[in-house]
């Protein structure tokens, strides 16, 4: 049995980092498991931060809210710049493999693992449903045999596209490097790569978001529709980028309902 600690390292061998401010960081999972023997769905939370940081208000508070909604949760502290693609994707896929492998002992439904990401964390969450068979996340242990595909995605004001004028260029620069030609960003524009096996998605955004334009959610939803993949989209009229739970934000009371909407959507799929 894998020991469940407050800080669960993802990899058995430390990763050798490039030079930079995050070079000594090692990725890890933070578990938020509900007590008791009830077998439940699980939400894996990925904070945003432009692939250059991990925003605290998009981590633990989100896991705790989904606990209150009846889901087990984990927060993934993944690698960011100076790490480049596919390092963050490796971390996210490895996290899914760990959770699925140990689902029975942690009272998690192994086929009901949702991934939830904010902003660039939304780009990372989205990527796991597209490159799960392309990016290796092996560690030489029992988790290697598990599927890394999430069963659902919750994408919160996500970075999706690398199209100039629509995407958040800073996220792509941190993920790929500034020396990469901008036309290569299109390879990692997930609205262009939706397939029939891409997971269902719940998306929400604010129409006023100037950091990551609402077109990111809308165009991804359209791509899902073209593949006949179930999805839900909620566009709130007001609110800047990065509001998280939007609690204690005057004028954004309508936005605060998004976790309940997402939870209801998951429960309809028997999470």
pLDDT, tens only, 92-145:
999 999 999 999 999 999 999 999 999 999 999 999 999 999 999 999 999 999
> How far is CA 68 from each of CA 95, 109, 145, rounded to the nearest angstrom?
22, 18, 32
The CB density around residue 22, as the number of other CB atoms within 10 Å, is 15
Residue 170 corresponds to which tokens in the numbers above?
A: 């800073």
Q: Each residue of 141-192: pLDDT tens digit?
A: 999 999 999 999 999 999 999 998 899 999 999 999 999 999 999 999 999 9
pTM of the predicted model, to two decimals?
0.96
d(CA 211, CA 242): 8
Residue 7 lies in a domain: no
Residue 3 inside a domain? The answer is no
Number of domains forming the structure of the chain: 1
Residue 6 maps to a domain: no
DSSP conformational letter for 75: E
pLDDT of residue 1: 41
The residue segments making up the domain with residue 29 are 17-268
**Tens digits of residue pLDDT in 231-248:** 999 999 999 999 999 998
CATH number, domain of 72, equals 3.40.50.1820
For residue 1, being part of any structural domain is answered with: no
Residue 112's pLDDT is 98
Indicate whether 4 belongs to any domain: no
CA distance 84 to 82: 6
Give residue 11's pLDDT.
97
Domain assignment present for residue 9? The answer is no
| pLDDT for res 6 | 86
Answer whether residue 90 is part of any domain: yes
Residue 69 lies in a domain: yes
| DSSP letters spanning 230-241 | -EEEEEESS--T
pLDDT at 34: 97
pLDDT digits (tens, 9 = 90+) for 192-221: 999 999 999 999 999 999 999 999 999 999
- The dihedrals phi and psi of 46, each to the nearest 5 degrees, come to -120, 105
CA dihedral 55, 237, 229, 134 (to 10 degrees): -30
pLDDT digits (tens, 9 = 90+) for 35-82: 999 999 999 999 999 999 999 999 999 999 999 999 999 999 999 999
């Amino acid at each position: 049995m894998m020991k469940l600690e407050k800080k669960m390292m993802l990899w058995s061998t430390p990763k050798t980092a490039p030079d930079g401010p995050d070079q000594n960081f090692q990725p890890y999972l933070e578990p938020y498991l509900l007590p008791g023997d009830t077998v439940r769905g699980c939400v894996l939370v990925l904070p945003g931060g432009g692939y250059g940081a991990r925003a605290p208000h998009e981590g633990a508070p989100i896991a705790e809210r989904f606990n209150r909604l009846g889901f087990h949760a984990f927060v993934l502290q993944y690698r960011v710049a100076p790490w480049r693609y596919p390092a963050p994707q490796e971390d996210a896929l490895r996290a899914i493999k760990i959770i699925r492998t140990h689902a029975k002992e942690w009272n998690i439904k192994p086929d009901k693992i949702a991934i939830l990401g904010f902003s660039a964390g939304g780009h990372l969450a989205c990527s796991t449903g597209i490159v799960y068979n392309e990016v290796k996340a092996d560690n030489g242990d029992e988790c290697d045999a598990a599927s890394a595909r999430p069963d659902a995605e919750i994408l919160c004001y996500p970075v999706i596209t690398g199209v100039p004028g629509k995407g958040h260029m800073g996220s792509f620069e941190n993920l790929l490097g500034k020396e990469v030609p901008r036309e290569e960003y299109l390879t990692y524009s997930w609205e262009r790569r939706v397939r029939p096996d891409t997971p269902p998605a719940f998306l929400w955004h604010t129409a006023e978001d100037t950091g990551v334009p609402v077109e990111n959610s809308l165009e991804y939803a359209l791509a899902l529709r073209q593949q006949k993949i179930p999805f839900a989209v909620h566009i709130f009229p007001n609110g800047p980028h990065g509001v998280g739970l939007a609690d204690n934000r005057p004028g954004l009371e309508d936005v605060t309902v998004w976790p309940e909407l997402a939870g209801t959507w998951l429960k309809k799929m028997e999470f």
